[in-house]
């Protein structure tokens, strides 16, 4: 059994993907990126494909088609990719070293720690804690000393 029970993605051909014109796909792709990435809606754990479709004045089938064809993934994986990238930045930022994994998970938009760990592991092949420890060891010696001094002062 694999860690976190991640199953390989099965390829399936959805007929509705061919119903969206390439021009509309390009337009929706830019709008999706604007809302999810630029406006950072990925941090909202309740921001679903349905809400995105409503914000864009379209339907979830079109959103699904664009995400599948233009980004080669599904909506959840698409959003989680941005969450994981942000989590990786937070985990290696010394300003956030004292936060626990639930805090990080919440900050980047995951509904719970389990989905955070599973998604993180799927992307990086290691847990968030392992990632943090691996990158903490790479910090320059003076930053490690600052961290130790900060702990002693508590």
Question: In the chain, what are the domain boundaries?
Answer: 14-72, 82-152
**Predicted confidence (pLDDT) at residue 64 exceeds the cutoff of 90:** yes
Interval 11-50: pLDDT, tens: 666 666 677 899 999 999 999 999 999 999 999 999 999 9
Q: The tokens 């792709």 sit on which residue?
A: 29
Identify the band that residue 62 occupies on the pLDDT scale cut at 50, 70 and 90. very high
Identify the band that residue 153 occupies on the pLDDT scale cut at 50, 70 and 90. very low
Class of CATH domain 82-152: mainly alpha
Instruction: Indicate the average pLDDT of the chain.
Output: 86
Interval 97-109: pLDDT, tens: 899 999 999 999 9
**Predicted confidence (pLDDT) at residue 10 exceeds the cutoff of 50:** yes
3-state secondary structure the chain: CCHHHCCCCCCCCCHHHHHCCHHHHHHHHHHHHHHHHHCCHHHCCCCCHHHHHHHHCCCHHHHHHHHHHHHCCCHHHHHHHHHHHHHHHHHHCHHHCCCCHHHHHHHHCCCCHHHHHHHHHHHHCCCHHHHHHHHHCCCCHHHHHHHHHHHHCC
**Predicted confidence (pLDDT) at residue 83 exceeds the cutoff of 90:** yes
Is the CB of residue 131 less than 8 Å from the CB of residue 88? Answer: yes
Extract the tokens encoding 55: 């914000």
Report the alpha-carbon distance of residue 55 to residue 151 in Å, rounded: 46
Radius of gyration of the chain (CA): 19
**Predicted confidence (pLDDT) at residue 139 exceeds the cutoff of 70:** no
Predicted pLDDT at 135: 85
Compute φ and ψ for 45, nearest 5 degrees.
Answer: -65, -15
Q: pTM for the whole thing?
A: 0.78
């Amino acid at each position: 059994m694999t860690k976190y029970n991640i199953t390989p993605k099965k390829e399936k051909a959805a007929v509705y993907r061919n119903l969206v014109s390439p021009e509309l796909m390009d337009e929706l792709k830019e709008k999706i990126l604007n809302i999810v990435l630029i406006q950072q809606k990925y941090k909202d754990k309740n921001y679903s494909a349905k809400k995105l479709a409503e914000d864009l004045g379209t339907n979830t089938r079109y959103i699904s088609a664009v995400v599948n064809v233009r980004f080669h993934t599904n909506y959840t994986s698409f959003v989680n990719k941005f969450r994981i990238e942000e989590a990786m930045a937070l985990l290696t930022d010394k300003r956030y070293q004292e936060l626990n994994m639930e805090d990080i998970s919440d900050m980047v938009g995951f509904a719970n720690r389990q989905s955070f760990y599973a998604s993180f592991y799927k992307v990086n092949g290691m847990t968030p804690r392992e990632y943090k420890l691996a990158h903490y060891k790479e910090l320059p010696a003076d930053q490690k000393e600052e961290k130790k001094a900060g702990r002693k002062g508590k």
